[in-house]
Amino acid sequence: MSGKNKKIGVLLGGLSKEREVSLRSGRAVAVALRARGYDVVEIDAVRDLPERLKVEGVDVAFVALHGRYGEDGTVQGLLEVMGIPYTGSGPLASAVGMDKELTKKLLVSEMGDEITTPVWKVIRRAGGSPPLPLPVIVKPNREGSTIGISVVRDEKDFAPAVEQALALDETVLVEEFVTGTEVTVAMVSGRALPIVEIAPKSGFYDYASKYTKGATDYIVPARIPDSLRDRLQKTSETIWKVLKLAGFARMDFIGEYFLEVNTVPGMTETSLVPKAAAAAGIAFEDLCEEVLKGASLKI
């Protein structure tokens, strides 16, 4: 469904708080696909998206959207209804992957001892004391790019952290603070790529560390024992199967602890999945084309 005689719509921008990151991802993908001879149109996925898809005559959609209304199954459901094949995971897998609490529950239930994840509690209203021993991580249940996340080391900072997260989502995750080497496992078509180590100079991989040039060092392959590397790659491939993911994705870990899955990871040439692909000898244009060739309807 992704032949060069078809109109490829790269969906970018969108309505989430990750809009700016998505614009960068989508533009990079569009440039790469045009370089390979594809007929590409960039479409800002806002409220008029159905009309734009019709007017532009899009045959296949490359989803380069991050966050709500793009990574959470809503756009995927729209494309299913419109009969437009698209890249990445389907509506159900996307919705589950966006929900950190549901992802954890499902993976722990299905994988048992095969997966280790930080202990967590769920909060749905402000007030109260930390439900876990400090320090803890407080984060919105359905946001990406570490938006709204806080490290709480003092009890007086807990309530403000919860209020900040509740402003972004009705459900807040409170996780135990775990330490270790932060790494990510990129997945393409169900196979794990070389692991990337994330070393923020601030000591915490927040939004600024992610998107400020020079704020974080990325080392690939990660400086971890071979045994841990093999375990994390195997775990990621199992997560892929359990969640029924498709196209490409990224699993984030601290040491052996699974944190979350990203079903539409960043796709600029300096993003983590392209870094992992490059370490495996896959050029950025090849990566984009492989993801595109996997476009399909999932329902």
Marked catalytic residue, from 67, 90, 247, 266: 266
The two tokens of residue 253 are: 């870990």
- The residue type of 255 is G
Is 211 one of the catalytic residues?
yes
> Rounded to a whole number, what is the largest CA-CA distance in the chain?
60
Q: Is 145 a catalytic residue?
A: yes
* Residue 19 annotated to the active site: no
Selecting among 25, 145, 236, 271, the annotated active-site residue is 145
Catalytic (active site) residue 22: no
CA pair distance 228, 180, nearest whole angstrom: 12
Q: Which of 22, 262, 271, 294 is catalytic?
A: 262
285 among known catalytic residues:
no
- Annotated active-site residue 141? The verdict is no
Per the residue annotation, which of 42, 175, 206, 260 is the catalytic one? 260
d(C-alpha 10, C-alpha 43), whole Å: 6
Element (H, E) at 258: strand 257-262
221: cis peptide before it, omega within 30°? yes
Residues belonging to the chain? 299
The single residue of 27, 207, 209, 211 carrying the catalytic annotation is 211
Q: How far is C-alpha 153 from the geometric centre of its chain's CA atoms?
A: 27
Q: In whole angstroms, what is the distance from residue 197 CA to residue 120 CA?
A: 24
Catalytic one of 252, 257, 271, 294 = 252
Active site annotation includes 5 = no
Question: Considering 14, 18, 42, 68, which one is annotated as catalytic?
Answer: 18
- State the Cα–Cα distance between residues 169 and 228, nearest whole angstrom: 34
Check if 129 is active-site. Answer: no
Whole-angstrom distance, CA of residue 251 vs CA of residue 237? 10
Catalytic residue from among 13, 16, 250, 289: 250
As annotated, the active-site residues are 18, 145, 211, 250, 252, 260, 262, 266
